[in-house]
């Protein structure tokens, strides 16, 4: 509400001001908002490090992602694009709050994340589970945060690989081969295990699917076999990155899956 009031004050668009004036006033408003946040960051309480941290009571989890905004006239404005990072906090009462900033335009992404968490009621001795993909900017933000516990899960790419495998079964059913219903159930079970923090248990199941498909000569170059191999290899390669994730997701998987929409 404060930001809206400020924009109405400095951007009187009803007076039909010029486009350049609107841009200048918006930049002025943006700089003032950034300055306020930076002052608030300096006044934030420091995280408690002398005793074991506990899970936050007000915030269940925070999911973060980013997207590129590009100029619509590509030929005239090449390179004019910005990266918007956004986070959504799921609160214990079921409500959500959103934060966003322009990548590489803030002094510290980690400090912005901490400021947002403090605003949501996170205390110095509490920590919040942050779920994101494996993008470098998120890894650095979480590692530099005082109140976030890094839980990096490249959920988007994992979900896409499982989806590709499931869709490939549709065309595979037209061919002679394995028990396609059983294969579909096994793929679904492996995905279920991954989303519930049991990725290492999912790997043997996916390997067994791969071995079953390899028994059929007509599946050697099939899209299904290729999709299963990609999903299997990808999940296995992520286990070392997310060594603590499999257990961490088990702690609050019900909340994360219900509110953060990572189940696919």
In terms of domains, do 234 and 251 share one?
no
221, part of any domain: yes
251, part of any domain: yes
Task: Note the pLDDT of residue 247.
Answer: 43
In terms of domains, do 170 and 233 share one?
yes
Give the Cα separation of 182 and 223 in Å (integer): 17
146, part of any domain: yes
Answer positive or negative: Cα dihedral of 221, 227, 231, 232. negative
In terms of domains, do 184 and 202 share one?
yes
* Per-residue pLDDT tens over the stretch 107-160: 888 899 999 999 999 998 888 888 877 666 777 788 888 888 766 566 677 888
193, part of any domain: yes
* Per-residue pLDDT tens over the stretch 186-208: 999 888 888 776 777 888 888 88
What is the domain count for the chain?
Answer: 3
- Beta strand segments in 16-166, E: 54-55, 59-70, 81-91, 96-102, 126-132, 148-152
Per-residue b or e along 112-131, where b marks 16 or more CB atoms closer than 10 Å to that residue's CB: bbbbbbbebebbeebbbbbb
Specify burial of residue 145 (Cβ count, 10 A radius: 0-12, 13-18, 19+): buried
Enumerate the β-bridge partners of residue 96: 90
In terms of domains, do 33 and 140 share one?
no
CA angle 162, 165, 168 (to 5 degrees): 150
pTM score over 0.75: no
Which residue range forms the structural domain that includes residue 18?
Answer: 2-42
In terms of domains, do 121 and 69 share one?
yes
In terms of domains, do 10 and 126 share one?
no
């Amino acid at each position: 509400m404060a930001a809206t009031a400020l924009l109405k004050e400095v951007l009187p668009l009803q007076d039909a001001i010029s486009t350049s004036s609107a841009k200048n006033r918006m930049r002025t408003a943006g700089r003032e908002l950034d300055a306020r946040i930076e002052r608030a960051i300096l006044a934030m309480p420091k995280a408690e490090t002398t005793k074991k941290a506990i899970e936050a009571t007000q915030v269940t989890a925070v999911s973060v992602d980013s997207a590129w905004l590009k100029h619509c006239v590509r030929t005239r404005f090449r390179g004019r694009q910005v990266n918007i990072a956004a986070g959504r906090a799921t609160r214990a009462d079921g409500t959500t709050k959103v934060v966003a900033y322009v990548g590489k335009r803030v002094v510290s992404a980690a400090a912005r994340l901490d400021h947002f968490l403090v605003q949501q009621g996170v205390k110095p001795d509490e920590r919040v589970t942050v779920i994101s993909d494996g993008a470098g900017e998120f890894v650095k933000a979480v590692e530099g945060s005082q109140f976030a516990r890094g839980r990096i899960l490249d959920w988007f790419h994992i979900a896409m690989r499982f989806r590709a495998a499931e869709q490939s079964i549709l065309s595979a059913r037209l061919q002679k081969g394995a028990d396609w219903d059983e294969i579909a159930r096994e793929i679904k079970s492996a995905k279920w295990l991954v989303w519930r923090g049991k990725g290492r248990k999912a790997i043997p199941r996916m390997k067994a699917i791969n071995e079953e498909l390899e028994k059929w000569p007509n599946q050697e170059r099939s899209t299904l076999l290729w999709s299963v191999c990609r999903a299997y290899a990808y999940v296995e390669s992520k286990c070392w990155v997310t060594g603590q994730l499999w257990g961490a997701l088990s702690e609050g998987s019900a909340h994360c899956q219900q509110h953060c929409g990572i189940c696919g």
